[in-house]
Structures are given as structure tokens and as C-alpha cells.
């Protein structure tokens, strides 16, 4: 199974289209959205081609392939027009004998880890900074932001297949990777 991770779309149809092009090229089985789909929030500048309505319409076309969690910029009103569940603060996927704890990052993160077992994985967005590291007993991953990257990083996404998590720019170039072993 191949999982494709994006976070922090923030209403940019331009970057969502680029990310979904990569999703199709990667031939991933599922699209995991780690929050902040439609709105940019008060701390962020408007991303390129800001169009939450178009983002919603495009994401709804992939509703059968999406697993999503709520970001700090997502609201109950968003769920009224999004055709897949996206209001949970976290979700858990069992993957190769480990738990993938999916969250946005504004509640659970490196400084506030959930209860996880050794070699489980927390995957979140929120900071807009790509991370792939092994902590003391768990793995910590952030695929970055597809539309408003920070700290001079490119717009990015993540792919998980065969216990290898790769973070790539929107041209598909790998710039971080981590084996979950």
C-alpha cells in the first residue's frame, strides 16, 4: 500500500492541482490530508490562486481515496461542503505492525506526543516545515506544506511505501527520507 501525504493546502487551487498531479504520477492508493485544507488563517499570507471553493470541489472528486484530520484553520462549516470526514483531531492507521498517528500538529506534536508504542509514527503538518526523524522511541514526520512552505523549504509532500517515508518537492525530487525500522 502506498500512502501520499499533504498538509496545509490553505485554499490554494494552484498547489493542490500540482500535488494531485504528483498523487496520480506516484500511483498512490490513498491521499492523507493532515489539515488546513481550505483557509489560510490569520498568520499566513494568501497563497497563490487562493480559491477555497475550487479546492473543495477538486478534493471532493477524490473523496473515496482521502483520509483527513482537522487542522487549526478547518471548521465545522468546512465539513458541510467537504464530502469526506475531516473533523477528527487525529486518526490512527495500522501499517506494517506499527501505528501511524495522523494529526495536524497544533495539539499533538514533538513537544506533546500522544501515547505511542516503540516504533510507532506521528505524522503531522502545521509548522509548514518538513521533518523526518527518529526520536527516542517513535518516528516523527512532517511532509511540510504544499502551498506556504517555511524556512526556505520548497512546497512538499510525503510518500510512504514499504516502510520508506520520502519527502519530495512538487517536481518529485526527494530531499528527505526515513526508514521506519
pLDDT in tens, 15-57: 999 999 999 999 999 999 999 999 987 888 889 999 999 999 9
User: The whole model's pTM is what?
Assistant: 0.97
| Residue 131: DSSP 8-state | E
Nearest to 86 by CA among 41, 22, 33: 33
Q: What is the pLDDT of residue 58?
A: 98
CB-based contacts of 83, cutoff 8 Å, min separation 6: 60, 63
Fold for 3-179, please state it: Purple Acid Phosphatase; chain A, domain 2 (3.60.21)
Nearest to 131 by CA among 116, 150, 106: 150
| Residue 65: DSSP 8-state | G
Nearest to 165 by CA among 109, 70, 96: 96
**For residue 51, what is its C-alpha cell?**
480559491
Q: What is the pLDDT of residue 41?
A: 79
Q: What is the pLDDT of residue 136?
A: 93
Domain positions in the chain: 3-179
Q: What is the pLDDT of residue 5?
A: 98
> Low-confidence residues of the chain, pLDDT below 70?
none
As a whole number of angstroms, the distance between CA 29 and CA 127 comes to 26
Amino acid at each position: 500500500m502506498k500512502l501520499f501525504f499533504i498538509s496545509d493546502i490553505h485554499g490554494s487551487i494552484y498547489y493542490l492541482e500540482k500535488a494531485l498531479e504528483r498523487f496520480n504520477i506516484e500511483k498512490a492508493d490513498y491521499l492523507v490530508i493532515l489539515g488546513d485544507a481550505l483557509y489560510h488563517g490569520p498568520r499566513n499570507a494568501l497563497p497563490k490562486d487562493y480559491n477555497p471553493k475550487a479546492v473543495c470541489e477538486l478534493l471532493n472528486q477524490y473523496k473515496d481515496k482521502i483520509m483527513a484530520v482537522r487542522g487549526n484553520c478547518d471548521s465545522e462549516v468546512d465539513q458541510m461542503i467537504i464530502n469526506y470526514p475531516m473533523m477528527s483531531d487525529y486518526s490512527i492507521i495500522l501499517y506494517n505492525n506499527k501505528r501511524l498517528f495522523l494529526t495536524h500538529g497544533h495539539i499533538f506534536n514533538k513537544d506533546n506526543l500522544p501515547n505511542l508504542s516503540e516504533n510507532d509514527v506521528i505524522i503531522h503538518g502545521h509548522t509548514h516545515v518538513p521533518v523526518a526523524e527518529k526520536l527516542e522511541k517513535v518516528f516523527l514526520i512532517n511532509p511540510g506544506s504544499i502551498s506556504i512552505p517555511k524556512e526556505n523549504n520548497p512546497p512538499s509532500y510525503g510518500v510512504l511505501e514499504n516502510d520508506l517515508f520520502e519527502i519530495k518537492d512538487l517536481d518529485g525530487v526527494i530531499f528527505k527520507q526515513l526508514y521506519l525500522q
